[in-house]
Amino acid sequence: MKAVLTAAQASELDRMYIEDIGFDSMLLMENAGRSVAQFINTLDEVGSNVAIVCGKGNNGGDGFVTARHLRDMAYNVTVVFIGDIEEFTEDSQYFFEIISEVQEGILIFQYLNTDQLSEIISTQDIIIDAILGTGTKGELRQPYDEIVMAMNDAPGIKIAIDIPTGMNPDTGGGGIIFKALYTVALGSYKRGYFYGRGLDNRGLLHYGYLGMQKVPDTIENPWVLYELDEMMSIRPSKKRSVNKYSAGGPVIVAGSDRYPGSASLVYQAAFTSGSGSPILFTSEKGASVTLIRTPEAVVREFSVNFNSETLKSVMDELEKKDVLLIGPGLGRSPETTIALDKILEIENKLVVLDADALTPLHNGNYKKYDLQGKILLPHTGEFAQILGKPLEIIEEDIFKAAQDFAQETGCILILKHACIFICHRSGVNYILDSGHDSMAKFGTGDGLAGMIASILSQIMVIPQLDVESIIDLIREGHRGTVEVFIQRISDAIHTYNVSALMLVNEQSSFAVSASAIIENLPAAQKKIDGA
């Protein structure tokens, strides 16, 4: 797992490299530029003409080093530098002087105006942004705004060094932003890559090497990127003597006459991902839809809305189960809200709250409830409703908002966006970046919730596990225990996303729907297992 840092943390990391570990600052710049050049050299059929637009700071210095290494790799390099040489940082000036002495393979121009820049870069195969680094957060001013617009208008493949110029490294926000096809991250990933306009402008990420692979532990509680190649199989080890009950299965309360399909999607996802005995509580229409799609389903019906009477039956089933998922397609009737109050009082089970089950928490009412150890699955809009704040305010620093909420409540927060953020007060903060834009459709969240509940229920029936002690440890925030469960949740999410990606690759993005993702889960699991 690789650290995902704020600009301040990245700056502190640089300081630690230099002052605590003993790296020379110029060695870091040399390593950075070499990493960028080596990455470019791995790209197929991109051409050999490269333009690098360099600013006055250390990001520009990284660009100067990149120019030298690309020249040595037989690229034709053009460097355009912004400002006066006397304004460069000391290290940048040193590397600029080196490339100034190169006789062949590097052309150097001082930026004059956008007409000049556009003419220079119009014929380049690759355009590299080395203008502004992580130290700049505000919207671009002249001449940087017009420079970036000119670079975006040029036809070449665009690559950003560390941060696309104009992008806030902490939030992903910004006005005019360099639109990269690739970004080479230096030393660490930055938070802004994974949210807001950062997602649309960073392109594909490549991890550059500065001198150390691991971020020191003295940088406390960073977010980390939990990547596909780190995941474990969600397929639990089961004995030959396993039966449908010992195979696990959650209690699910989902669907309504208005949204009957939600119940079916949640149940199918739970059933297809390995649960042996999931129990579904849903409306009459929800039951009908579910049994058509999954005749094996065990369903308990309620007449119209989930209510206090049905709650008694749910609690009876929970005497034999350890995981409850409630909320998808449930509706927001007054009687449902009253019943949800009782659900929120449960302390001795793993309770997964999704969609409509989050309604009682809206507008700051979450403070009335004990959410320790509960698992919340809001998307960012629902999260803003829970906090009782406009989404645009939350998005000013979505990472801090998520961490603050998890710290305050003690819940495991699974915040759904194009990327998924999972955090807990123990300092476990994961980012998952395996989703695809084709998944932005009705029902995909229902299937994901069913799969997460299924995986959790299969963990809780492991024979050696003391369920009561495990739930106590999660409620108490025992880091090791919490991290195990968050990793398993992350594995479930990655598997679900892999299923969608397989549909995209094998058919098209139009083939992706919640039903298709769920039906494809066995194939996705087989692919992940390498079978």
**Measuring CA to CA, which residue among 155, 119, 148, 134 is closest to residue 8?**
134
The pLDDT value given to residue 121: 96
Residue 362: partners with Cβ closer than 8 Å, 6 or more residues away: 385, 386, 388
The pLDDT value given to residue 213: 63
The pLDDT value given to residue 21: 79
Identify residue 162 by its one-letter amino acid code: D
* Residue 513 resides in a domain: no
Give the CATH number of the domain where residue 363 resides: 3.40.1190.20
* Residue 407 resides in a domain: yes
- Considering the domain architecture, whether residues 311 and 201 belong to the same structural domain is answered as no
- Considering the domain architecture, whether residues 416 and 462 belong to the same structural domain is answered as yes
- Considering the domain architecture, whether residues 269 and 176 belong to the same structural domain is answered as no
The pLDDT value given to residue 241: 66
The total number of structural domains that make up the chain: 2
- Considering the domain architecture, whether residues 219 and 263 belong to the same structural domain is answered as no
Beta strands in 82-134 (DSSP E): 106-110, 126-130
* Residue 235 resides in a domain: no
- Considering the domain architecture, whether residues 285 and 169 belong to the same structural domain is answered as no
- Considering the domain architecture, whether residues 214 and 320 belong to the same structural domain is answered as no
* Residue 524 resides in a domain: no
* The length of the chain, given as a count of residues: 531
- Considering the domain architecture, whether residues 94 and 217 belong to the same structural domain is answered as yes
Spell out the long-range contacts of 522-529 with Cβ–Cβ below 8 A and sequence spacing 24 or more: 522/272, 523/499, 524/495, 524/496, 524/498, 524/499, 525/233, 525/234, 525/235, 525/273, 525/495, 527/498, 527/502, 528/231, 528/233, 528/234, 528/495, 528/498, 529/233, 529/235
The pLDDT value given to residue 510: 87
- Considering the domain architecture, whether residues 261 and 402 belong to the same structural domain is answered as yes
The pLDDT value given to residue 296: 92
Give the CATH number of the domain where residue 158 resides: 3.40.50.10260
- Token reading at 180: 């990269």
The pLDDT value given to residue 381: 96
Whole-model pTM?
0.92
- Considering the domain architecture, whether residues 479 and 358 belong to the same structural domain is answered as yes
* Residue 520 resides in a domain: no
Q: Which domain holds residue 102?
A: 2-225
- Considering the domain architecture, whether residues 469 and 344 belong to the same structural domain is answered as yes
The pLDDT value given to residue 487: 95
The pLDDT value given to residue 105: 86
Question: Per-residue pLDDT for the chain (531 aa), expressed as one digit of tens each?
Answer: 888 998 888 888 888 878 877 788 899 899 999 999 999 999 988 889 999 999 999 999 999 999 999 999 999 999 999 999 999 999 999 999 999 987 788 999 999 999 999 999 999 999 999 999 888 777 899 999 999 999 999 999 999 999 999 999 999 999 999 999 999 999 889 999 999 899 999 999 999 888 776 676 677 768 999 999 888 877 766 666 677 877 789 999 999 999 999 999 999 999 999 888 999 999 999 999 999 999 999 999 998 888 888 999 999 999 999 999 999 999 888 899 899 999 999 999 999 999 999 999 999 999 999 999 999 999 999 999 999 999 999 998 999 999 999 999 999 999 999 999 999 999 999 999 999 999 999 999 999 999 999 999 999 888 778 888 999 999 999 999 999 999 999 999 999 999 999 999 998 888 899 999 999 999 999 888 875
DSSP characters over 154-206: S-SEEEEESS-TT--TTT---SS----SEEEEESSEEGGGGSTHHHHHS-EEE
The pLDDT value given to residue 209: 82
- Considering the domain architecture, whether residues 426 and 482 belong to the same structural domain is answered as yes
Q: Which H or E run contains 207?
A: strand 204-208
* Residue 511 resides in a domain: no
* Residue 481 resides in a domain: yes
The pLDDT value given to residue 102: 79
**Contact status, residue 225 vs residue 433, Cβ threshold 8 Å:** yes
Tell me which of 225, 243, 260 is where a domain ends. Answer: 225
Instruction: State how beta strands 223-225 and 429-432 pair.
Output: parallel
* Residue 333 resides in a domain: yes
- The rounded distance, in Å, linking the Cα atoms of 476 and 426 is 9
- Considering the domain architecture, whether residues 276 and 161 belong to the same structural domain is answered as no
- Token reading at 197: 């306009």
- Token reading at 278: 């999931």
